[in-house]
Structure 1
Amino acid sequence: MYQIDDVTKTYQQGRRVVRALRGVSLTIGAGELVAVQGPTGGGKSTLLQMLGGLDRPTSGTVTLDGADLAGMTDAQLTAARAGTIGFVFQTFNLIPTLTALENVETALVPAKVARQTRTSRAQAALDAVGLGDRGDHLPGELSGGQQQRVAIARALVKNPKVLLADEPTGNLDEETRDEIVDLIEGLWKDQGLTIVLVTHDSVVARRAPRRLRIAKGTLKELPSP
């Protein structure tokens, strides 16, 4: 699935050079559920951006199913993200003026899916996350946990091979956090998705069969829980 070889990422901040990733190498097999932990600024989100083709490494290679993401054109990357990779973020990123169903449908617009098909697939995705009866609600009419479920449905509606989740429970209370992790774990088991979950929460990370820790741009494997 993923092969990362000697990836570095540096940023220039004024006169200061920030080394976000330092020679990271990693293999993630198809169907794995991997949690990535680490301190703020340690490189977690940068690594996830590399996996999602949202940023390019300064050096090294990131391949997904044999395709070099760093070597793709912007158009090729956009197509790969639209058809292969689903994203879930801490802040939900829902459009407040659209209903839950319409928010999910937006993920299919770049793929030029017909309107009727978009609607039926969006409804099925909401059903899969337990919100089949909330499709006509605006985000402001939903709880934080429900909004995150809509965001997960939006990621799933593309039928991706990979789900990348960046602190998906960071804005939720403990009870809702556990419900969202249960949902993600269930989707992993039922759909065979490859899931990479970035989290600062050890309770969440310990639910994953495989755990990694990244700090100061350096990655290491943690013992299985």
Structure 2
Amino acid sequence: MYELSGVTKQYRRGKDTVHALAGVDLTIGEGDRLVIKGPTGGGKSTLLQMLGGLDRPTAGSVKLDGTDLARLGEAKLTAVRGRSIGFVFQSFNLIPTLSAQENVETALVPLGTKAGERRDRAAEALRSVGLGERLNHVPSEMSGGQQQRVAIARALVKQPKVLLADEPTGNLDESMRDEIMDLLEGLWKEHGLTFVMVTHDSAIARRATRLATIRNGKITITERSA
């Protein structure tokens, strides 16, 4: 699925060079679930952006199913993201004037999905995350946990191979955090997704059977029994 080799990312900050990633080698197999943990500024979100084709490395390769995302033109990279990768973020990124169903449908518009099919698939995706009764509610009429469920439905409605989540429970209290994690892990199993999540939360990290820890741009992998 993913094969990262020598991935380096450098930024300029004033006169200084920041090494967000420093020669990362990483393999993520199809259907894997990987949690990435580390301190703020340690490189974990940068790594997730590389996996999602949202940023390009300064050096090294990021291969998804044998295709190096770092070498794709922008149009082809956008097509890969649209077809194969779903994203969930800490901020729900919902459009406030659209209903839950309309927000989910937005993921299908770039794929050229016809309006009737968009509506049906969006409704089914919302039912799959427990929001079948909330199709016509706008974000301001929903709790934070419900809004994150809409965001998850939006990520999954296009039936991606990969789900990338960046601090998906960061804006939620502990009980809602656990509900969302149970949902994400259940969907990972149900859909056979490759699931990669960034977190700073030690409670979530303890649930991981495969944990990547990043500090100062360097990665360490810990394997645990289920």
Q: Deviations over 1:191-211 (max 9, x none)?
A: 110000100011112222211
Deviation at 1:223, TM superposition (A): 4.2
3-state DSSP of counterpart to 1:179: helix
Instruction: State the one-letter code of the partner of 2:72.
Output: M
- The one-letter code matched in structure 1 to 2:146 is Q
- The residue number in structure 1 matching 2:100 is 100
- Name the SS for the 1:27 alignment partner: strand
- 1:159, CA displacement in angstroms? 0.1
2:195 is aligned with 1:195: yes
TM-score of the superposition, structure 1-length normalised? 0.99
- Secondary structure in 1 aligned to 2:110? coil
Aligned to 1:9: 9
The one-letter amino acid of 1:131's match is L
Partner in structure 1 of residue 167 of structure 2: 167
Any idea what SS the aligned residue of 2:195 has? strand
Q: Which residue in 1 is equivalent to 2:22?
A: 22
The correspondence of residues 141-220 of structure 1 with structure 2, limited to 5 A, is 141-220=141-220
Q: How many residues align?
A: 225
Distance 1:27 1:207 in 2: 20
Partner Cα distance (2:206, 2:76) in 1: 35
- Mapped to 1, the partners of 2:124 and 2:207 lie a distance apart of 26
1:62 aligns with 2:62: yes
8 Å Cα contact 2:37-2:205 kept in structure 1: yes
1:127 aligns to what?
A: 127
Corresponding residue number in structure 1 for 2:114: 114
CA positional deviation for 1:212: 0.8
The aligned runs of 1:33-112 (5 Å cut-off) are: 33-112=33-112
Q: Secondary structure of the equivalent of 2:179?
A: helix
Residue type of the alignment partner of 1:95:
I
Q: Percent identity?
A: 64
Distance in 2 separating the partners of 1:2 and 1:118: 29
Check the 8 A contact 2:209/2:223 in 1, yes or no. Answer: no
Alpha carbons 2:8, 2:59 under 8 Å: kept: yes
- The alpha-carbon deviation at position 37 of structure 1 amounts to 0.3
Contact 2:7 2:61 in 1 (8 A): yes
CA distance, structure 1, for counterparts of residue 180 and residue 57 of structure 2: 31
Could you list the runs of 5+ residues in structure 1 that have no partner in the other structure? none
3-state SS of 1:168 partner: coil
Which stretch shifts more, 14-23 or 200-209?
200-209
Q: TM-score normalised to the size of structure 2?
A: 0.98
Deviates more, 1:215-224 or 1:21-30: 215-224
The SS at the match of 1:41 is coil
Gapped runs of 5+ residues in structure 2?
none
Ranges of 4+ aligned residues in structure 1 off by more than 3 Å:
none
- How far is the alpha carbon of 1:137 from its aligned partner? 0.2
Letter in 1 for 2:198: V
